[in-house]
Chain A
């Protein structure tokens, strides 16, 4: 559990981060979202003390981060940034091994960990281990950057706009990968982004920052349905609110018994996918299947009812 307690950063007279308190549960993704200059990156950088807090403190599993030297602290906290920041003069394997090497893991354990991570990120170890970062595509470089941040099984992973430099298609894949890997490893992640879409997609909880203050810290669904301020409503976007809400709800939640015509959707698809399928193929309901077996259908009426009944 990560407790951020009245964390403040002042530069001269301006407060970049103004007394922010929040608690991040272990094994979850928290997306910190805000416009540029909102203090979201400064907040993140104070967690691993790349910036020293002016006031307040951060506790990881109850221990204040101020009790250890910054560079020792950072070895326990993964860090991945926009533009990956890989070491151009080291191979992929050495890049991923950077922190385990600092922690003086035995050589064979490091080797095994590197291969395990490459596998996890769907990169064949034999093929990629000895390549240099410049030999890789942008998406691959970014994956190696995240693998490096995860290498020592850190208590916490900080990510600063990790997908900012990727094109939309690669970005969507990278987001799916991150979700999958996070669920598999049970990592705790704090991620900074300016993109509300990304925050909704990845975050178990979303923290909205505005002018140095934390204005709302809640689940994506509640950020959409109950924005705390006009600023949050703006960030969500009025027009897109129903669609954003639908994209958070799986079809399995409102699936009803009975058949329907046409191609089926998997149970994991969102209501947004179902709506889209209905509109595009002119159907009023789509069948839903799980493991290849039809388990029922979702109708346009049910979708409409679900949006109207938002908590």
Chain B
């Protein structure tokens, strides 16, 4: 708990009061060069970064979970291999390649990044949702049918709640991957924390690279931890 709080305070300080760390990063900056990134506010970069990740993960969750529900119904089982291979393709394509291909079609900015993050995030959610929805306790499902729940009621009241911890794990993986991957969105002018890192790389300024990397890393750690907490709490409440 203390550790969590320390990390959170450190992250907030890095984002809101970067000048506090000037002396820490100074030895890493080139002689006479800037130590703290000031071209854009780190807060606005962070918010935009998180916004992109949230939008992409949100869209990936909606699509992947709907798809998983569809292919775990008796009528949709035949499409399961197809859905899986499509999601696999999204995962195989490197995000950089997706960016490169998307820019001519969508122009520079956030849109191609969003597409890349979305495609990259589908697979873990889809796979986990399929696993969650197919490995339900048999006796419970049999009883749910036997006492007269309709298909829809079984899905909403029994299947989704019981699969939720596993689905959340998939979403967590997807979000953490997206947090890291969003940094390369800056190469196509998306407004993300990658900007700081890339500026540092271009000017040989390790201080910038470290600042950007540290903030992204701390976000990832905190969000990962928060989602694990939610999962275990949920699993405990459902006694699975």
> Which residues in A have some Cβ–Cβ distance to B below 8 Å?
48, 50, 71-76, 78-79, 81-89, 98-99, 102, 132-135, 145, 148-149, 158
Q: Does B237 contact A (CB under 8 A)?
A: yes
Looking at B140-148, B166-174, B187-195, the stretch in contact with chain A turns out to be B140-148
B138 vs chain A, min Cβ distance (A)? 8
B interface, over-half SS: helix
Q: Does B158 contact A (CB under 8 A)?
A: yes
Would you list the 9 A-B pairs with minimal beta carbon distance, nearest first? Answer: A85-B143, A74-B148, A79-B146, A75-B148, A85-B139, A89-B238, A134-B239, A83-B139, A132-B239
Q: Please, which residue of chain B has its CB at the minimum distance from the CB of A73? A: B148
Q: Does B137 contact A (CB under 8 A)?
A: yes
Q: Does B240 contact A (CB under 8 A)?
A: yes
Q: Does B230 contact A (CB under 8 A)?
A: no
CB neighbours (8 Å) of A87 from chain B are 140, 143-144, 157-158
Q: Please, which residue of chain B has its CB at the minimum distance from the CB of A85? A: B143
* Max count, chain B CB within 10 A of own CB: residue among A71, A83, A135: A71
Q: Taking A89-B238, A89-B239, A102-B153 as contacts, is the C-beta distance between A71 and B140 under 8 angstroms?
A: no
On whether the beta carbons of A88 and B137 are closer than 8 Å, the reply is: yes
On whether the beta carbons of B147 and A75 are closer than 8 Å, the reply is: yes
Q: Total A-B residue pairs with C-beta atoms closer than 8 Å?
A: 73
CB neighbours (8 Å) of A145 from chain B are 143
Q: Please, which residue of chain A has its CB at the minimum distance from the CB of B154? A: A71
Q: Please, which residue of chain B has its CB at the minimum distance from the CB of A83? A: B139
* Cα distance, A83 to B141, chains bound together (Å): 12
A-B contact list, 5 entries, CB within 8 Å: A74-B147, A81-B139, A84-B139, A88-B162, A88-B239
On whether the beta carbons of A89 and B237 are closer than 8 Å, the reply is: yes
A162 vs chain B, min Cβ distance (A)? 11
* Cα distance, A185 to B239, chains bound together (Å): 33
B42 vs chain A, min Cβ distance (A)? 42
On whether the beta carbons of A71 and B161 are closer than 8 Å, the reply is: no
* Cα distance, A79 to B143, chains bound together (Å): 7
On whether the beta carbons of A102 and B148 are closer than 8 Å, the reply is: yes
On whether the beta carbons of A71 and B239 are closer than 8 Å, the reply is: no
On whether the beta carbons of A82 and B144 are closer than 8 Å, the reply is: no
Q: Does B6 contact A (CB under 8 A)?
A: no
CB neighbours (8 Å) of A134 from chain B are 239
Q: Please, which residue of chain A has its CB at the minimum distance from the CB of B240? A: A88
Contact residues, B21-58 vs A (CB, 8 A): none
Q: Does B150 contact A (CB under 8 A)?
A: yes
* Cα distance, A76 to B148, chains bound together (Å): 8
Q: Does B149 contact A (CB under 8 A)?
A: yes
Q: Taking A79-B143, A88-B162 as contacts, is the C-beta distance between A71 and B238 under 8 angstroms?
A: no
* Cα distance, A132 to B137, chains bound together (Å): 16
On whether the beta carbons of B148 and A72 are closer than 8 Å, the reply is: yes
CB neighbours (8 Å) of A133 from chain B are 239
Q: Taking A85-B139, A88-B140, A89-B161 as contacts, is the C-beta distance between A79 and B239 under 8 angstroms?
A: no
B73 vs chain A, min Cβ distance (A)? 16
CB neighbours (8 Å) of B237 from chain A are 89
